[in-house]
C-alpha cells in the first residue's frame, strides 16, 4: 500500500514537471514572439521567467496567484505598449503604481508588492525606452502606493493613496532634474510634471474600477 502511494506521488510529480516544462516553453515562444514582433528586448521574457522562479523557490505564489500576478503584469505591459505605439501621450501617464497597489490589496503581502512594483517599473521602462530616472520615479511611486493602501477598506483611502503617489512622483521628477532652468519650461511641465502629478490619481481610479 505504501509502495503504491509512493508510486502515485512520483507519477504526480512527474506529470507536474512535464506541465511546468510545457508552460515554460509556451511562455518563451509566445512572449518572445511578441517582443520580437514589437521590437522589444528579449531580456523581458527572461526577466519575468526568473521572477517566477524566485516566487516558486520561496513559495510566494501558488498556481492561482501566478495567474493573477501574470494578468496584472500583462495589463501594464499592454497599456505601456499601446501608449508607446499608438499615441503621443507622455509615458509618465502609464499607471505603474496601480500594479503595486492592486498587489497589496489582493494579497496583503509587502514583499510581493515590492517585487511586483520593481518588475512593473522595469518592464514599462524597457518597453517605452525610458531612462533610469523614469524607472526610479515609477518604482518610488509604486512603493508609495502599495504601502499606503495596506489595510485600506474605503475608496477614500484609495484616493488618498493616489494623491500620495502623485506627490512622490512629482518629488522624484524634481529631484532627478539637475538643471533648474528646465523646471520652468512648458516642455517639462507637459511631458513630465503634469503626467507625474496625474499618474497617482489614474492609478487610484484604475484600482477602484478593478476591485
What's the pLDDT at 151?
78
Q: Give 149-208 pLDDT, tens digit per residue.
A: 987 778 888 899 999 999 999 999 999 988 877 888 898 999 999 999 999 999 999 898
2 has a pLDDT exceeding 60: no
**pLDDT confidence of 13, banded at 50, 70, 90?**
low
Cα distances (Å, whole numbers) of residue 116 to 30, 33, 95, 109, 161: 21, 23, 13, 11, 17
Chain CA centroid to CA 174, Å? 23
pLDDT higher at 4 or 79: 79
- Give me the residue label for grid cell 525606452: 129
Q: Give 136-155 pLDDT, tens digit per residue.
A: 999 999 999 999 998 777 88
9 has a pLDDT exceeding 70: no
**pLDDT confidence of 61, banded at 50, 70, 90?**
low
What's the pLDDT at 6?
58
**pLDDT confidence of 34, banded at 50, 70, 90?**
confident
Q: Give 81-137 pLDDT, tens digit per residue.
A: 999 989 999 999 999 999 999 999 998 888 899 999 999 999 999 999 889 999 999
As a three-state string, the secondary structure of 7-26 is HHHHHHHHHHHHHHHHHHHH
Amino acid at each position: 500500500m505504501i509502495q503504491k502511494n509512493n508510486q502515485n506521488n512520483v507519477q504526480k510529480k512527474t506529470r507536474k514537471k512535464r506541465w511546468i516544462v510545457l508552460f515554460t516553453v509556451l511562455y518563451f515562444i509566445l512572449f518572445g514572439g511578441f517582443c520580437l514582433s514589437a521590437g522589444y528586448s528579449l531580456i523581458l521574457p527572461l526577466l519575468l521567467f526568473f521572477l517566477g522562479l524566485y516566487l516558486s523557490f520561496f513559495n510566494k505564489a501558488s498556481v492561482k496567484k501566478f495567474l493573477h500576478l501574470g494578468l496584472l503584469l500583462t495589463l501594464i505591459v499592454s497599456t505601456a505598449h499601446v501608449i508607446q505605439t499608438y499615441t503621443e501621450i507622455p509615458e509618465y501617464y502609464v499607471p505603474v503604481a496601480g500594479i503595486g497597489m492592486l498587489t497589496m490589496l489582493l494579497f496583503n503581502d509587502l514583499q510581493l508588492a515590492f517585487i511586483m512594483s520593481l518588475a512593473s517599473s522595469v518592464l514599462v521602462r524597457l518597453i517605452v525606452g525610458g531612462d533610469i530616472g523614469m524607472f526610479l520615479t515609477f518604482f518610488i511611486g509604486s512603493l508609495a502606493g502599495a504601502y499606503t493602501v495596506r489595510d485600506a477598506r474605503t475608496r477614500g483611502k484609495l484616493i488618498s493613496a493616489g494623491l500620495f503617489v502623485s506627490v512622490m512622483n512629482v518629488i522624484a521628477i524634481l529631484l532627478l532634474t539637475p538643471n533648474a532652468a528646465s523646471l520652468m519650461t512648458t516642455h517639462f511641465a507637459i511631458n513630465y510634471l503634469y503626467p507625474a502629478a496625474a499618474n497617482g490619481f489614474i492609478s487610484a481610479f484604475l484600482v477602484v474600477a478593478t476591485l
